A and B are shown apart, each in its own frame.
Chain A
């Protein structure tokens, strides 16, 4: 009988850690041929339009960045929390919390100038997301409540709070569906490049990548959050206030997710609506894993997902392969990445008995 065993091995380090996600992406694209062929697409044509649709024209390229922006924020949010082993599955809810507060400030903005309103909605959205993440962090540190469950379930709580607001105090006068008033002009992210939707939130997302990288690798807090993630008992023993580290981590993580919500309101929709996010918070989990929890990896993974998302629209129009294929490819990317990460720590051995 032949049996296949997984044997632990010394993990490869250095360049291999960069190579793993790249290999995973290539493997994913190769494997994507199967669903594309099943959907009846011409392989080369499909891949051509997938990438042409995402990168081929100026507008499409900039649109890819527009779509990447919220994914970078939610991906960073998840990656930052996971590094400290705060299992934040709630970026979706924190995004909505940020969006609600941003909309509220934006609606009430009156005649305040952009110089006041823009920072206000950003800070307000950041704090709202952070506060929404601090709830499960407090439950975890004070009452030992499982963070996976509490962060996830709070997504549905905020979803219904938002529903109540959109049918209640925040509802647009005269509207019969769940939508808010538009935010004032001065609270909207400026468009930075003409004839596109390339807005302030995009450089902000890339700045966030740098800031998180800086926090992780250069600061005392980054060291502590990593120590807490690696071994919370040793961190505590070493004199690190683990409760404080987890709370701060949750605040920053939730804040980043909140900024994703701010961007969707202030740059794309200009009002709050019940289907504001097509699951950016959940996709953020996949992106964090694909990016190996490293901020730069997260940025690249978010762009990759965005390429697949935007490109699949063109592919669908030109070849008839349904654009839902992007979901299949993204799911596959996660599975391939997880297998590759596993292979980094284990090797396969075939045993004959």
Chain B
């Protein structure tokens, strides 16, 4: 983009964008009719998106709404199927992130791309080095970096090794890296997800300075109060489409929540009312840490009765995964107890969960629930291969096993070439049916389904919904964890909402107030 790049003026030590003139008062970014398909799945459907200089634009939407896909298209990670992208009025082809960077677009991912053992300065220089030169120009780079730090008020010691920095500081280094490349547009993918509250405050200060200096920011988020606080304009995506866009000043959290979660219900699920029986799952005061050692679930208490479906709604990443992992037995808890059918679980011991009468339908079925390189039969056997029914004295009873596999394949209509077909030859829906067959055939007391229909087609989704209802009618207590609000509202007798590891509130399933749930999901207490 000749002439469109920010012009470094080293005499003043400032890295300004070209002066605004009538000729270049066009949007910095203009995406027109962007459509991006993954096989049959339309991730972005005819999206128009514009961004002006000095603007902070929030991109709001649920998981899977298409925010990140759209930004990956803009940053050159993904090619798109239809549409066009213009940068400062000129149409461009962004075949790779390199092209995007050359056009002044910078992206800051949730997971930073820094070399921990190198210094801040080295990290910035290697990311931007002139590939034709063998030696790095560290001296010149240092001066430029210090100038940029002064201009934007972003101070990080250039000689500190990155691994010693806090997450917030590392994020600053990423921003500095983008500014060092003269980026005029910064895409930030859920930048606050990894930050502590004070760090968020600092980040917002930085973003405001960037905007004052004429840079534009695209802020991807699903936290409403943050969007309200920092953005000038909000674009709401849902199911790959732009639902609406508004100046932030002209809207409020309620309206945004509504736009984000939508109102249409795609599938009608027959609601069957069963009189709930005695409590069958009791979770008491659970406190759980995530992989980073941060609090993921806080003081979580829950009772589920026979004959009811409890829906747990929430944007994913708010502790649902960790809570489920504790019940599945693959994660320990700091404090708290769980009992299934009156029997306490030994937390952190998968076998205890397997034997407890808890049917486990995990969120990450490919990596946690299934042995993709083994057969359908092996997968059906994963949890009970050692039981008296299928083994004696350490030897497997193959006749019994084969008969059981045949029955389950028929009963759960698993489409496969046979019990000896490799699991990886099955479709996603049929893989999920393997798990259902394995878990439900033993008539469990509690069914815990985490994101059971994620990534599945309509038919498989409907089958799984139906099975959940059948389990409830049979008298199991069913827990449905999903970030698909339609699913939760369509199936649940009671709904709780999780936000940052806590229960924000509870409502009855029938006639639940969608707006209320939407507010809870985004952290607005009312």
> Which residues of A are interface residues toward B (Cβ below 8 A)?
10, 13, 218-221, 223-224, 226-227, 230-231, 233-241
B351 at interface, CB cutoff 8 A: yes
Given A226-B374, A237-B362, 20 more pairs with CB closer than 8 A: A10-B425, A218-B395, A219-B395, A219-B396, A220-B394, A220-B396, A223-B396, A224-B385, A230-B371, A230-B373, A231-B367, A231-B370, A231-B371, A233-B368, A234-B367, A236-B330, A237-B360, A237-B368, A239-B354, A239-B355
How long is the Cα–Cα vector from A227 to B369 in the complex, in angstroms? 12
Shortest Cβ distance from B325 into A: residue:
A237
Some 25 contacts from A to B, beta carbons below 8 A apart, are A218-B395, A218-B396, A219-B394, A220-B394, A220-B395, A221-B394, A223-B396, A227-B371, A230-B374, A231-B372, A231-B373, A233-B330, A233-B367, A233-B368, A234-B369, A234-B382, A235-B371, A235-B382, A236-B350, A237-B368, A237-B369, A238-B350, A238-B382, A239-B351, A239-B355
Residues in chain B near residue A224, CB distance under 8 A: 385
- Dominant secondary structure at the B interface: mixed
Q: In the complex, how many angstroms separate the beta carbon of A9 from the nearest chain B beta carbon?
A: 12
Instruction: Report B347-373 CB contacts with A as 1/0, cut-off 8 Å.
Output: 000110111000010100001111111
Residues in chain A near residue B350, CB distance under 8 A: 236-240
Q: In the complex, how many angstroms separate the beta carbon of A353 from the nearest chain B beta carbon?
A: 14
The 6 closest A-B pairs by CB, nearest first: A239-B351, A239-B354, A238-B382, A230-B373, A230-B371, A239-B350
Residue of A226, A231, A234, A238 near B354 (CB, 8 A) is A238
B383 at interface, CB cutoff 8 A: yes
How long is the Cα–Cα vector from A63 to B186 in the complex, in angstroms? 73
Q: In the complex, how many angstroms separate the beta carbon of B151 from the nearest chain A beta carbon?
A: 45
Q: In the complex, how many angstroms separate the beta carbon of B359 from the nearest chain A beta carbon?
A: 13
Q: In the complex, how many angstroms separate the beta carbon of A83 from the nearest chain B beta carbon?
A: 12
Residues in chain A near residue B395, CB distance under 8 A: 218-220
How long is the Cα–Cα vector from A236 to B369 in the complex, in angstroms? 10
Q: In the complex, how many angstroms separate the beta carbon of A301 from the nearest chain B beta carbon?
A: 22
How long is the Cα–Cα vector from A219 to B395 in the complex, in angstroms? 4
How long is the Cα–Cα vector from A241 to B386 in the complex, in angstroms? 12
Q: Are A234 and B425 CB-contacts (below 8 A) given A219-B394, A241-B351?
A: no
How long is the Cα–Cα vector from A224 to B383 in the complex, in angstroms? 11
Residues in chain A near residue B146, CB distance under 8 A: none
B378 at interface, CB cutoff 8 A: yes
Residues in chain B near residue A233, CB distance under 8 A: 330, 367-368
How long is the Cα–Cα vector from A235 to B330 in the complex, in angstroms? 11
Residues in chain A near residue B370, CB distance under 8 A: 231, 234
Is B328 a contact of A237 with CB atoms below 8 Å?
Answer: yes
B524 at interface, CB cutoff 8 A: no
B381 at interface, CB cutoff 8 A: yes
Q: Are A227 and B351 CB-contacts (below 8 A) given A10-B425, A218-B396, A219-B394?
A: no
Is A223 a contact of B372 with CB atoms below 8 Å?
Answer: no
Residues in chain B near residue A219, CB distance under 8 A: 394-396
Is B381 a contact of A223 with CB atoms below 8 Å?
Answer: yes
Q: In the complex, how many angstroms separate the beta carbon of B30 from the nearest chain A beta carbon?
A: 31
Residues in chain B near residue A13, CB distance under 8 A: 422
Shortest Cβ distance from B373 into A: residue:
A230
Shortest Cβ distance from A231 into B: residue:
B371
Shortest Cβ distance from B365 into A: residue:
A234
Residue of A10, A218, A226, A239 near B383 (CB, 8 A) is A239
Residues in chain B near residue A218, CB distance under 8 A: 395-396
Q: In the complex, how many angstroms separate the beta carbon of B408 from the nearest chain A beta carbon?
A: 16
Residues in chain B near residue A226, CB distance under 8 A: 374, 378
B391 at interface, CB cutoff 8 A: yes
Q: Are A234 and B368 CB-contacts (below 8 A) given A239-B350, A239-B354, A239-B383?
A: yes
